[in-house]
Structure 1
Amino acid sequence: MVGMETQLASTPDTASTSPAKRTGGRSALVLAAVRTAVEELIKERGPERVTVPMIAERAGVNPTSIYRRWGDLPTLINEIATYRLDPERPLPQSGDLRGDLTAWAREIIEHYSTAVNAALLRAGAATAGESESDCLRNRRAEATMFVARTPNPPVTADQVIDHLVAPIIYRVIFLPWSIDGTTADRLVAELFDRA
């Protein structure tokens, strides 16, 4: 099997003969291949049975490329899990905090209803350690934004994390069968009842 790095190395260098517009280059191709490999392997084997050499083989890259870019498997999995729920995506902005939080909670639940996304979340949570994961940091930033743009908000960003995001994540990781079409609405109602 010819690896991606070998294929890329064998292509002629056109940069020296004429200016070419870069579309992300080799790094972008390697990153995309590694992300795809991680997602496929976690879906097929589960996060506890995935190794850096497996990912490298599937992606067609050398394991040292993965170690150089990410350092270790937990960091790689955390980044891939974070990448899946893009912090740059547009968020609900109706002007009604309760409605926006309900739409946001539904989006998070829908995202994690996909098996590979739930598996990546579980793997990311298992590797998070004592520091806040990128995924939680992104959700906290979003919760802060929702609350900050509301005049006299009835809830704080910490309450949104504790009573809306945390129960969703807990259910995705430990009780996925307990999530249904009413979960987001119920959790938002409970959040506002506490206010």
Structure 2
Amino acid sequence: MTTTTPSKRTGGRSAAVIHSVRTAVEELVREKGPERVTVPMVAERAGVNPTSIYRRWGDLPTLINDIATYHLDPERPLADRGDLRADLTDWARDIVAHFRKPVNAALLRGGASAAGERTSDCLRNRRTEAGMLLARHPETSVTEDDVMDVVIAPIVYRVIFQPWMLDDSTADDVVARLFQPGAGSGLGSDEPASAE
């Protein structure tokens, strides 16, 4: 008699567990802060066994990092207005709006401290999105590193250290800096670098 291993379901009970765990983490972080949340607390709030959390995420830092990036889904549609500066501004506004919510800011802080020597999923996903936006404009000399250093880094810095400075003008200001003449390697121009 042959036996087959059932395929892993993405819906049903598994999806319900993931949803309840994510909700529990968000609630607990909002109530207590990420540094005071534990796996047993999350399990109790979510109504699941702690082993289910360890089996899926491995540890609390990985869980927090996953939740920190969950709402900013890298598969979501990105602005496409036909102009790189406009697209980057819309994208940055989306990121700022997301992290102006205290629970999302707390999750980012927890995810950043949990990442250790690894690049956090949040930063990896933002770099991927920057690459997608830049790929639409092959004529630009702006690079992914430029976008990360001039647009994303100041936003993340404010989220972690100066949340009161994250306001309606933040996205427009950081993207404007990206296009200032002489702002850095390849910055300040949408023109392609001349070939030697």
- Any conservation in 2 of the 1:102–1:188 contact (CA below 8 Å)? yes
Quote the residue 1:127 is aligned against: 114
Query: TM-score, normalization: structure 1?
Result: 0.87
Give structure 2 stretches of 5+ with no counterpart: 1-8, 188-196
- The reply on whether 1:63 has 2:50 as its aligned counterpart is yes
TM-score by length of 2: 0.86
Give aligned pairs, total.
174
**1:45 partner amino acid:** K
* 1:1-195 correspondence to structure 2 within 5 Å: 24-193=11-180, 194=183, 195=187
Q: Separation in 1 of the partners of 2:167 and 2:67?
A: 26
Alpha-carbon distance, 1:154 to partner: 3.2
Structure 1 residue runs without a partner (length 5+): 1-21
Q: Percent identity?
A: 70
Could you tell me how far apart the structure 2 residues matched to 1:58 and 1:163 are?
39
Aligned-pair CA distance for 1:49 = 0.4
- Give the letter aligned to residue 54 of structure 2: Y
Q: Is the contact made by 1:80 and 1:120 (CA closer than 8 Å) also made in structure 2?
A: yes
Q: Quick one: distance in 2 between partners of 1:102 and 1:58? A: 38
Greater per-residue helix proportion: 1
AA matched with 1:96? D
Deviations 1:3-23 (A, max 9, x none): xxxxxxxxxxxxxxxxxxx88
Q: Could you list the per-position Cα deviations for residues 121-176 of structure 1 after superposition, in whole angstroms to 9, with x for gaps in the alignment?
A: 11000101111111111100000111111031131111000100010011011001
Residue deviations 1:30-84 (CA, integer Å, cap 9, x gap): 1111000000000000000000000000000111111111110000011111112
